[in-house]
Amino acid sequence: MDNPLTLEPLFHLGPVPITAPVLVTWAILALLGLGSWHATRHLSLTPGRLQTVLELFVTAVDTQLRDTLQRDPARFRALIGTIFLFLLVANWSSLVPGVEPPTARLETDAALALIVFAATLWHGISAQGLKGYLATFAEPSWVMIPLNVIEQITRTFSLIVRLFGNVMSGVFVIGILLSLAGLLVPIPLMALDLLTGAVQAYIFAVLATVFIGAAIGDQPPAASTQETRP
Amino acid sequence: MTANLVEIVSILAAALAVSFGAIGPALAEGRAVAAAMDAIARQPEAAGTLSRTLFVGLAMIETMAIYTLVIALLLLFANPFA
Amino acid sequence: MSFDWWTLGLQTVNVLVLLWILSHFLFRPISEMLARRQAAATDDLAHARAARADAEAARADAQAQEAAVAARRADLLSSARQEAETTRRSLLEEARQEVETLRADAQAKAAQHRIAAVHALQDEAAELAADIAQRLLSRLPETARTEGFIDGLVAAISELPEHTRAGLGADAPLPVRAAAEMSAAETGSLAARLSEVLGHPVTLSVRSDPTLIAGLELDAPHAVVRNHLRADLDHIRQELLKHD
């Protein structure tokens, strides 16, 4: 059985070792890029089936963002939508034979969590100013400053480990089952994997939204951005 | 022998972590599902919202078990003392 | 436990690239399209609202026109009815007046007829009375028809005013009409009586006139003294007519 925690580079591109998740991510990137370019090339006021689906998706993201942030979702739409879409496609890429989801590797999840962390900082500073954002760390009182700083780090870690654990465990369990039974037996678990993948993508996007919402504060009418701790 | 002992202890620890780590989330999921069923029985028209929230909550709770699984896998495959 | 930092970096770059691609090729066009659709829908809604307002205004106009037509019709109807009423009333009035005049005419004519009939009757009665008197008197002697009236005539003359009496028969014979032929003796006695009452002698020119029936009439130029039945009968008739 492969060690799910280690990565062997497939080949080297100059000094850069290229691993399987990077390759799969490139494929996903090309797929999503070409697909979206193709889908939005001929937009019209009377949408076709594909355009309706895309509009429904964008509207759903907007609604979710507006509900959570109580703000105009235009600035956050691309980030949250991209995270959700990428995670969904990456989690479901296990359907393709021989492909391991890139999210089953710690590095991809860490990259995503890093981006979310950076976006949290960026939006928090741009919304409240550097001083205002730093002041939120001493929110109830200055005693809480170390705890708040630790919370920033731990919640990023929990974000990484949650996604990694869920996807990796699914892949791992299927690998074990395949080595034991082979035909047909892993199918229910694969279906469960699909559900888990979708739910985890949703949870990751929602948590990213909540983190950003907590960072930008709630000056506009009573935003309900309660901390959702793992 | 020392290396063997570390391996044996690691395997035991992994099994313990998964088994005990599964208890809490199992109880929690049971409570969550029971509460959700109760709520759906009271308000069948809110079943859609409730089940969506239930799934997200279950995934969150499940994450606890996943954490222990990750620890177990770390012990098994990436043991820093092995 | 190994953590491939190269992979972390590559994946971060990958996700950022994907973020750019999707925001450029998916989210921006779609949200722009949504905004455009919303604008178009708002536009259409505004158009539809305007159109509906127009239609409602037109309907209100039509209703107002209908109401105006109805009011005019009602006006026309009521005026026509009024006209008919006035025409009927005037016709009735005219007819009543006509009937009234006709009745009044008829009444007047009837009254005239009655008066004429009464007159005729009275005339007839007078005639009859004169006839009866003549017939009755004709049974009396001739002298009775004149002599009997001499006293009356003398009395009548004596009641005349003084200067009239003085003028009577002073320079001409007094014309006297008698109902019957008077003998010379009678004439003489009459002249004597008249001379007596007038206070100077008079001569008489006697003319007989049977229409007097009985009696005498002094027919002087200044005074007429009637003392005969014809005058009485006429008088009676006048009285009768006055009573009617």
Residues of A in contact with B66 (CB under 8 A): 161-162, 165-166, 169
- Amino acid residing at A178: L
Q: Give percent of chain C above pLDDT 70.
A: 95
C-alpha span between C81 and C87 (Å, rounded): 10
Residues of A in contact with B73 (CB under 8 A): 4-5, 168, 172
Question: What is the CA A51 to chain-centroid distance, rounded?
Answer: 23
pTM here is: 0.63
| Banded pLDDT at A227 (limits 50, 70, 90) | very low
Residue C2 and residue B80: Cβ atoms within 8 Å?
Answer: no
pLDDT in tens, A207-226: 999 899 888 876 654 444 44
Interface mutation vs chain C, best among A19, A85, A107, most C CBs within 10 Å: A107
Residues of C in contact with A39 (CB under 8 A): 26
C-alpha span between C235 and C241 (Å, rounded): 10
Tell which wins on pLDDT, A79 or A183.
A79
- Tokens 């089940």 — which residue? B51
For B:29-68, CB contacts with A below 8 A are 55-56, 59-60, 62-63, 66-67
Chains that touch B (3 or more CB pairs under 8 A): A, C
Q: What is the pLDDT, as a whole number, of residue A111?
A: 93
- Would you state the structure tokens that stand for residue A57, as one six-digit string? 């998706």
Q: Mind telling me how many Å the CA of C31 is from chain A's nearest CA?
A: 7
For residue C85, pLDDT over 90 is answered with yes
Q: What is the pLDDT, as a whole number, of residue A201?
A: 93
A42, closest residue in chain C (CA to CA): C29
Mean local confidence (pLDDT), C167-187? 75
Residue C7 and residue A108: Cβ atoms within 8 Å?
Answer: yes
- Would you state the structure tokens that stand for residue C27, as one six-digit string? 């989210």
Q: What is the pLDDT, as a whole number, of residue A225?
A: 46
SS3 C205: strand
Residue C23 and residue A51: Cβ atoms within 8 Å?
Answer: no
Q: Residue B29 sits in which domain range?
A: 2-77
Query: What angle separates helix C150-158 from helix C184-198, to the nearest 10 degrees?
Result: 20
Residue A115 and residue C26: Cβ atoms within 8 Å?
Answer: no
Q: What is the pLDDT, as a whole number, of residue A222?
A: 44
- Beta pairing class for C174-178 and A16-18: unpaired
This model of the complex carries an ipTM of 0.82
Mean local confidence (pLDDT), C220-242? 76
Tell which wins on pLDDT, A173 or C74.
C74
Q: Which range, of A46-55, A217-226, C131-140, C162-171, averages the lowest pLDDT? A: A217-226
Q: What is the pLDDT, as a whole number, of residue C193?
A: 78
Q: Give percent of chain A above pLDDT 70.
A: 92
| Banded pLDDT at C1 (limits 50, 70, 90) | low
Number of folded domains in chain B? Answer: 1
Q: What is the mean pLDDT of chain C?
A: 83
pLDDT in tens, C48-64: 999 999 999 999 999 99
Q: Tell whether B78 is within 8 A of chain A (Cβ).
A: yes
Mean local confidence (pLDDT), A189-214? 90
**Vertex C111 angle, CA C108 and C112, to 5°:** 85
CATH of the domain at B70: 1.20.20.10
| Banded pLDDT at A230 (limits 50, 70, 90) | very low
pLDDT in tens, A133-185: 888 888 778 888 888 889 889 889 889 989 998 898 888 888 888 888 877 88
Mean local confidence (pLDDT), B31-35? 94
For residue C185, pLDDT over 80 is answered with no
For residue C83, pLDDT over 60 is answered with yes
In a domain, B52, yes or no: yes
Tell which wins on pLDDT, B59 or A110.
A110
Tell which wins on pLDDT, C141 or C57.
C57
Q: Tell whether B48 is within 8 A of chain C (Cβ).
A: no
For residue C163, pLDDT over 80 is answered with no
| Banded pLDDT at B82 (limits 50, 70, 90) | low
Residue B80 and residue C1: Cβ atoms within 8 Å?
Answer: yes
- B78: which DSSP letter? S
In a domain, B82, yes or no: no
Mean local confidence (pLDDT), C30-47? 90
Q: Mind telling me how many Å the CA of C2 is from chain B's nearest CA?
A: 8
- CATH (residue range C140-243): 3.30.2320
Q: C178: part of which helix (H) or strand (E)?
A: strand C174-178
For residue C90, pLDDT over 90 is answered with yes
For residue A229, pLDDT over 50 is answered with no
Mean local confidence (pLDDT), C4-17? 87
Q: What backbone phi and psi angles, to 5 degrees, belong to A11?
A: -155, 175
A115, closest residue in chain C (CA to CA): C12
